[in-house]
Amino acid sequence: MNRATSFERDLQCSPGTRPRRRRFLPIVCRMLSRLIWGTGLLAVGVCRGGAQTRAYVTVAGDDPQQPGFVAVIDPEINLVIAAVVVGRQPQGIAVTPSGRTLYVANAGDGTVSAIRTGTSPRSTESIPIGGTPLGIAVSHDGTRVYVANASDDTVSIIDTASNNIVGSPIRVGRGPVRIAVAPDGNRAYVANQIDGTVSLIDTANAAVAGTIIVDGMPMDVAIGAASDLLYVVDSASDSVKLVDITAEPVLAAAIAVGDSPLRLALSPDGARAYVTNTGDGDVSVIDTATNQVVGIPIVIGSGLFSGPVGIAVSPDGSRIGVAAALDGTAVLLDPLRPEPAIVIAAGANPGDIVFVNLPNRPCAGDCDDDGRVTIDELVLGTNIAVGRGEVAQCPAFDVGGDGQVTVDELVKAVNVALNGCP
Ligand SMILES: [Ca+2]
Ligand SMILES: [Ca+2]
């Protein structure tokens, strides 16, 4: 494909984008980026070809009786640009593959909040779960959310099309804290803090299909890029344990990291694993090709007493985000050049962090951006299509951005009405 073809395709996929702007934006971006680097600040996300990235941080606050919130950070300007109120003691946060919906586990009141992302993020639903929800994960097809209920020893499943609970909670090991879903969607792994195990859930049958004994205190799980290794953070032995999951799970190795490791995030290409060491106030970097720690740990915020907990890597791999619980900050750093890091005041007791590329087009027919297409919205779209209404009444129907609503676009909206926003 030549450049022109690719350029035109970009245009077709980006309604309303002006060609001149698209052509010059990368050049201006690079200039800006150099300039900002020169002053010692990070030029975050400036040159991403228009993909808007946000970091979302769960913040519990000082008072466990009060609702917490999700701080929305724009990593281009390194500021908190919004706060979305959720339930009490929000902990884990996960996003659907489309980038449209966040799910937050509220440990303090046993609920999960659904949050719409986009330009005006807001909480749209509070889903009662029970049992101290801590960890949360979304399936790779975006249809299911898995919630680890630490005090119930169960995992609950939410259908993202309806935000209703599916089936009965699945009994897992003791003290489930975090969940990872395999890319094929068939398996989910649950770190059980209290009994030193990882539960393997067969997602098709919504049942436990095996228990992996790792000992110690498993606090987090992640699946490697090749889907052959499970990374288990063991806070008790200050290590990351590797479990070969190609066949019958086998403990393959243990990598010594810092004091009281808590969470692990893999880079998008799977080449690096980053581990927060809560006791040391830093982050260990693991080369996943050799399974060795590389370099010295990256100091987070105030260091020893910064309390790094949640960690995430941006979709393009250019930023690592760390929630520093004791500092009350979100720390953004460049993995290739971790200092100086950007430190952003997030609020008391931040817990977890996730990066999201915001979708660059609306969900077809969802005029009010609540994640559903209603009959009323379909009627409005049909009226626009037959000339009895204006596109401006609901631009979400005009998926192609040509100022008209076609039958194809109506069909897309009907699909959303039936199946939910992708
Ligand atoms: Ca709607
Ligand atoms: Ca159209």
- Mean pLDDT score, 395-409: 92
Give the separation between CA 100 and CA 120, rounded to whole angstroms.
Answer: 12
Range with the poorest average pLDDT among 2-6, 265-269, 314-318, 373-377 = 2-6
Count the domains in the chain.
3
**CATH code at 341?**
2.130.10.10
Mean pLDDT of 161-185: 95
Nearest to 81 by CA among 61, 54, 62, 104: 54
- Closest among 84, 141, 136 to 112, alpha carbons compared: 136
Task: Verify that 22 and 69 share a domain, yes or no.
Answer: no
- pLDDT-based confidence at residue 4 (cuts at 50, 70, 90): very low
How far apart are the CA of 411 and the centre of ligand 2, in A? 12
Report, as an integer, the average pLDDT of 187-198.
Answer: 98
355 Cα–ligand 2 center, Å: 30
Average pLDDT, the chain: 88
Say how far apart CA 234 and CA 151 lie, in whole Å.
19
Record the pTM. 0.83
Please give the share of the chain, as a percent, with pLDDT higher than 70.
88
Mean pLDDT, to the nearest integer, of 297-312?
97
In the chain, % helix, strand, coil (3-state, to 5) comes to 15, 45, 40
CA-based diameter of the chain, in Å?
A: 67
- Give domain status of residue 187, yes or no: yes
Query: Where in 257-386 does DSSP place strands (E)?
Result: 261-266, 272-277, 282-287, 292-293, 298-299, 308-313, 320-324, 329-334, 337-345, 350-357
Q: For residue 28, which phi and psi values (nearest 5 degrees)?
A: -60, -40
Q: Grade residue 50 by pLDDT with cuts at 50, 70 and 90.
A: low
Q: Are residues 57 and 34 in the same domain?
A: no
Given 306, 328, 357, the domain boundary residue is: 357
Residues 164 and 255 in one domain: yes
Nearest to 387 by CA among 375, 401, 405: 405
Q: With 50 as the cut, is the pLDDT of residue 169 above it?
A: yes
pLDDT of residue 195: 97
Question: Does 369 map to a domain?
Answer: no
Same domain, 388 and 326: no
Residue 43 lies in a domain: no
Q: What confidence score (pLDDT) does residue 344 get?
A: 97
Residues 319 and 383 occupy one common structural domain: no
**Residue 193 alpha carbon to ligand 2 centre in Å:** 51
Measured in residues, the chain has a length of: 422
Give 97 Cα–ligand 2 centroid separation in angstroms. Answer: 24
pLDDT band for position 7 (50/70/90)? very low
| pLDDT for position 203 | 95
Q: Are 18 and 86 in a shared domain? A: no
Report whether the peptide linkage leading into residue 340 is cis, meaning its omega lies within 30 degrees of zero. yes
Residue 244 lies in a domain: yes
pLDDT tens by residue, 232-277: 999 999 999 999 999 899 999 999 999 999 999 999 999 999 999 9
- β-pair partners for 274: 265, 285
Q: Is there a single domain that holds both residue 195 and residue 265?
A: yes
237 and 353 assigned to the same domain: yes
| 15 CA → ligand 2 middle, Å | 10
CA distance 272 to 293: 10
Task: Say whether both 18 and 88 belong to one domain.
Answer: no
Query: Do 197 and 185 form a contact (C-beta atoms < 8 A)?
Result: no
Q: Which domain holds residue 12?
A: 3-38
What does the pLDDT average to over 3-28?
33
Q: Residue 320 is encoded by which pair of tokens?
A: 């690592």
Residue 96 falls within a domain, yes or no? yes
